[in-house]
Structure 1
């Protein structure tokens, strides 16, 4: 029974990360942290961009939670694992599939194409505003069709 609770914590953390990422993206990254995030809306001159600091920050938080939670196998381990899994999902969808940091991932899947179109809508502007579609895994139905 305990394993079901742990799986639930991981899944809720992944869902929570999507919601939190949407809010942070809209209100912080396109707000007071634009000076960092704008590097993601500009042409990249190399493999890394300053915006990658956000991924590194979440990785550190995830690793710390897993470290402190692994001693007793408590909720922090499972939250850290959920954050880490969301990071892996983010890397695959956003960096690999949408932005082609690696050229090997192509798909005609309808859901993946909607995500790609929504993200391209987000990148229409290289400015802080106007902007739309701040999520990664969930896109507005009216915009993605």
Structure 2
């Protein structure tokens, strides 16, 4: 029963991370934290950018949650695992597939094509304001019109 509980918490955390990431991106990254996030909206030949600090913050947070609950994995461990899984999904979809920060892979999968198109719409705006398509995995069809 504990395994099922942990699995539900992990899956719920992954979904909630997408929702939380949307809000953080829209209201913090394109708000008071723009001074760091703008590195992601400018063309650069560098592999690393200031925006990557946010990934480190989430990684440290998830590792901490898993570490403090390592003796008897339960809620905190499961939340940490969910954040980690979302981070891996984010890395593969955003950094590898969309931005091709490492050896690119291509796909004609209609869902992945919509994700890439929505993200390109987001990056058309190089400024802090008037951004669109702040999410990653949930693509609003209205944005694509």
Contact 2:13 2:79 in 1 (8 A): yes
Contact 1:115 1:144 in 2 (8 A): no
> Following TM superposition, by how much is the alpha carbon of 1:109 offset from its aligned partner in structure 2, in angstroms?
0.2
Show the counterpart of 2:14.
Answer: 14
Query: How many residues get paired?
Result: 145
Show the counterpart of 1:122.
Answer: 122
Show the counterpart of 1:111.
Answer: 111
TM-score, normalization by structure 1: 0.97
Greater Cα offset, 52-61 or 65-74: 65-74
Distance in 2, matches of 1:137 and 1:71, equals 33
Show the counterpart of 2:137.
Answer: 137
Distance in 1, matches of 2:144 and 2:15, equals 20
Distance in 1, matches of 2:141 and 2:124, equals 18
> Following TM superposition, by how much is the alpha carbon of 1:35 offset from its aligned partner in structure 2, in angstroms?
0.3
Greater Cα offset, 101-110 or 34-43: 101-110
CA RMSD of aligned residues (A): 0.9
* CA deviation vs aligned residue, 1:32-90 (integer Å, no higher than 9, x gap): 00000000000123110000000000000000000001112121111000000000000
SS of the residue 1:70 aligns to: coil
Distance in 2, matches of 1:45 and 1:100, equals 12
Unaligned runs of 5+ in 1: none
TM-score, normalization by structure 2: 0.97
